Amino acid sequence: MVFRFSNDQDKELLRELIRLKPFAAVRGTTLRVWSDVAASLSSAFGVEVNVKQIRDRLTLLKQSFKDSEAASARGSGIEESVDAVNVQSHYDEREGLVREYVALEDHFKSEKKTVKTKKQQKDEQLAIQQCFSLFDSIRCIITNTTIDTKAGERISTGDKTSRKTSATRVRAEGTGAPSITAAI
**For residue range 7-27, what is the model confidence (pLDDT) as tens digits?**
999 999 999 999 999 999 999
Of the pLDDT bands very low, low, confident and very high (cuts 50, 70, 90), residue 39 is very high
> What is the C-alpha to C-alpha distance for residues 175 and 182, in angstroms, rounded to an integer?
21
Residues 148, 114, single domain; the answer is: no
Kindly state whether residue 30 falls inside one of the protein's structural domains. yes
Q: Which residues pair with 146 in a beta bridge?
A: 155
Residues 32, 99, single domain; the answer is: yes
Kindly state whether residue 1 falls inside one of the protein's structural domains. no
Kindly state whether residue 139 falls inside one of the protein's structural domains. no
Residue 159 has a pLDDT of 47
> What is the C-alpha to C-alpha distance for residues 99 and 85, in angstroms, rounded to an integer?
10
Residues 101, 11, single domain; the answer is: yes
Q: Note the pTM of the prediction, 2 decimals.
A: 0.60
Kindly state whether residue 2 falls inside one of the protein's structural domains. no
Burial (CB < 10 A; 0-12, 13-18, 19+), residue 62, is middle
* Structural domain boundaries enclosing 11: 7-122
How many residues in the chain?
Answer: 184
Residues 107, 150, single domain; the answer is: no
Kindly state whether residue 130 falls inside one of the protein's structural domains. no
Residue 75 has a pLDDT of 77
Residue 63 has a pLDDT of 95
- 66-122, pLDDT tens digit by residue? 998 888 888 776 655 555 555 555 557 899 999 999 999 999 999 999 999 999 999
Using only C-alpha atoms, the chain has a radius of gyration, in whole angstroms, of 31
> What is the C-alpha to C-alpha distance for residues 70 and 64, in angstroms, rounded to an integer?
10
Kindly state whether residue 132 falls inside one of the protein's structural domains. no
Residues 60, 111, single domain; the answer is: yes
Residues 87, 16, single domain; the answer is: yes
Residues 148, 81, single domain; the answer is: no
Kindly state whether residue 134 falls inside one of the protein's structural domains. no
Of the pLDDT bands very low, low, confident and very high (cuts 50, 70, 90), residue 134 is confident
Residue 38 near residue 51 (C-beta atoms within 8 A): yes
Residues 15, 92, single domain; the answer is: yes
pLDDT at 43 over 70: yes
> What is the C-alpha to C-alpha distance for residues 157 and 159, in angstroms, rounded to an integer?
5
The percent of residues above 70 in pLDDT, for the chain, comes to 69
Residues 55, 100, single domain; the answer is: yes
Total domains in the fold of the chain? 2
